[in-house]
Amino acid sequence: MPMYEYACEACSHKFETLVRSGSTPECPNCHSTQLEKLLSVFATTGDSAKATPVMPGPCGSCGNPNGPGSCGFQ
């Protein structure tokens, strides 16, 4: 299940979601399926020794497909 970034053409909301094969993603804001797939760019640092670790956000902010409040880290 790849993760993709989208921009909703109806309400301009930008979001990322896991896309299962055979399913059509929809905007979590307005539920429209008129979406534009965005180009994902991964950030890197020049010196990995000085890189700070990336910590997860507050619980419920990771976009777990099981819904708000679900935690994929526990």
Look up residue 48 and give its DSSP letter.
Answer: G
Is residue 32 within 8 Å of residue 8, measured between CB atoms?
Answer: yes
Domain ranges of the chain: 3-42
Percent of the chain predicted with pLDDT > 90: 32
Over residues 51-57, the mean pLDDT reads: 63
Tens of pLDDT, residue by residue over 31-43, are 999 999 998 766 5
DSSP, collapsed to helix, strand or coil, labels residue 49 as: helix
DSSP, collapsed to helix, strand or coil, labels residue 16 as: strand
In this structure, of 5-9, 24-28, 51-55, the range with the lowest mean pLDDT score is 51-55
Looking at residue 67, its pLDDT comes to 63
